[in-house]
Amino acid sequence: PPSRTTFNSGGGGVRTGRVPVGIGRKRLRIVVTGGAGFVGSHLVDKLIGRGDEVIVIDNFFTGRKENLVHLFSNPRFELIRHDVVEPILLEVDQIYHLACPASPVHYKYNPVKTIKTNVMGTLNMLGLAKRVGARFLLTSTSEVYGDPLEHPQKETYWGNVNPIGERSCYDEGKRTAETLAMDYHRGAGVEVRIARIFNTYGPRMCLDDGRVVSNFVAQTIRKLPMTVYGDGKQTRSFQYVSDLVEGLVALMENDHVGPFNLGNPGEFTMLELAEVVKEVIDPSATIEFKPNTADDPHKRKPDISKAKELLNWEPKIPLREGLPRMVSDFRNRILNEDEGKGL
Ligand code: NAD
Ligand code: UDP
Ligand code: UDP
């Protein structure tokens, strides 16, 4: 490995030989794992847009080259097909570690792979951060609170998680990833940041990932009924993706380890969400009820006072404004799919 003395930044971006961007800041080299996915690709756009170099590591399990194709000719952008379960050597200032399937349909598809990604993948990225002195941000999840017994959830709540259920590969995987991050922080001095992300939606979500917002929007565009699971009275809080990206960058650039809840505190039942979709996309949309999945959390709503106070961050885009912003992207992709099938 290269000499550690070259990497004296601790994520602060004072690596030798960096090119200045704008006034008072050096250009950073940043890894985004999972950067071909929904959230990752929006984050990459933001980092490239402000003048930094970005290396995306992705195995394309749920990510797509299409999400990044507009950056392929940019000399500050690189894309590596790589699985984070395997070690990798890179020289960077910051690591945003997002690689992990996020939708229940995807993470339950191969649960052993999901937990390996969370545990071995996070270990490798922390090992990389330790070796080069990079700052490391983990995208954890509201799922660490499980089916919460405290409402709304504060970062101090330890959670109510089933260790042997169908969701455990993800929930417990992320809990272990948080533990690893804190152990590398305390034990090896790695600068870490932990974000606990609540349900997020927007353009580039996988069309058929089974999440409630993508399902309802795609179903409505396809003139199919929206599938409400269970009685539809369970609640979630939905955050528009640009708000999340702002929060992740604010967290990376600030001095606080976290964990920080990043979510929109607006709370909706699934029936209310269906009403909003109807109102903003198609007034003739209908619903149908389906059985719910196992261990489905009954309610979820972030308490974001900590992020407001310490990161000066809060979401700006309410559901009624965010939903219309994803419609044209979904319409175009659904149209392309139909054309591909010769319909
Ligand atoms: P996504 O599925 O669109 O993106 C995940 C990306 O990681 C994909 O590009 C996928 O190909 C890649 N990936 C998966 N396993 C990998 C591996 N072993 N090696 C390399 N790449 C791998 O999901 P997303 O919604 O963009 O989520 C991004 C991160 O945010 C995830 O860590 C997720 O747990 C977290 N998160 C998301 C939400 C949300 O609502 N979207 C909520 C909480 C947490
Ligand atoms: N690692 C990596 N890239 C690096 C440095 C480490 O992928 O640049 C991996 C390494 O292969 C190991 C993990 O990260 O599997 C943890 O590394 P660490 O140095 O903390 O532990 P050790 O290698 O001593 O077990
Ligand atoms: N859900 C639903 N219809 C769907 C997909 C999901 O009613 O077509 C419900 C699901 O039962 C859960 C909520 O929507 O209560 C959010 O599910 P999602 O998979 O989007 O996210 P998560 O459970 O991870 O919060």
| Ligand index nearest the alpha carbon of residue 269 | 3
The DSSP line for 63-97 is --GGGTGGGTT-TTEEEEE--TTS------SEEEE
* Atom number, ligand 2, closest to the C-alpha of residue 188: 20
pLDDT tens digit at each of 343 positions of the chain: 333 333 334 444 444 455 666 666 789 999 999 999 999 999 999 999 999 999 999 999 999 999 999 999 999 999 999 999 999 999 999 999 999 999 998 999 999 999 999 999 999 999 999 999 999 999 999 999 998 899 899 999 999 999 999 999 999 999 999 999 999 999 999 999 999 999 999 999 998 888 999 999 999 999 999 999 999 999 999 999 999 999 999 999 999 999 999 999 999 999 999 999 999 999 999 999 999 887 788 888 999 999 999 999 999 999 999 999 999 899 999 988 877 665 4
Half-sphere exposure of 109 (CA within 13 A, CB side): 11
Asked whether 209 and 62 are in contact (CB, 8 A), the reply is: yes
Angle separating helix axes 168-188 and 122-132, nearest 10 degrees: 20
Tell me the two tokens of residue 135: 């700052």
Please give the distance, rounded to the nearest whole angstrom, from the Cα atom of residue 17 to the centre of ligand 1. Answer: 32
Taking the C-alpha atoms of residue 190 and residue 182, their distance in angstroms, rounded to an integer, is 9
Please give the distance, rounded to the nearest whole angstrom, from the Cα atom of residue 127 to the centre of ligand 2. Answer: 4
Tell me what pLDDT residue 23 has. 63
Tell me what pLDDT residue 13 has. 46
| Ligand index nearest the alpha carbon of residue 102 | 1
Residue 292 CA, distance from chain mean position: 24
Candidate list 170, 184, 201, 240, residue with the active-site label: 170
For this structure, is 170 an active site residue? Answer: yes
Tell me what pLDDT residue 19 has. 61
Pairing of strands 287-290, 135-141: unpaired
Scored b (16 or more CB within 10 A) or e, 171-197 reads bbbbbebbebbbebbeeeebbbbbbbb
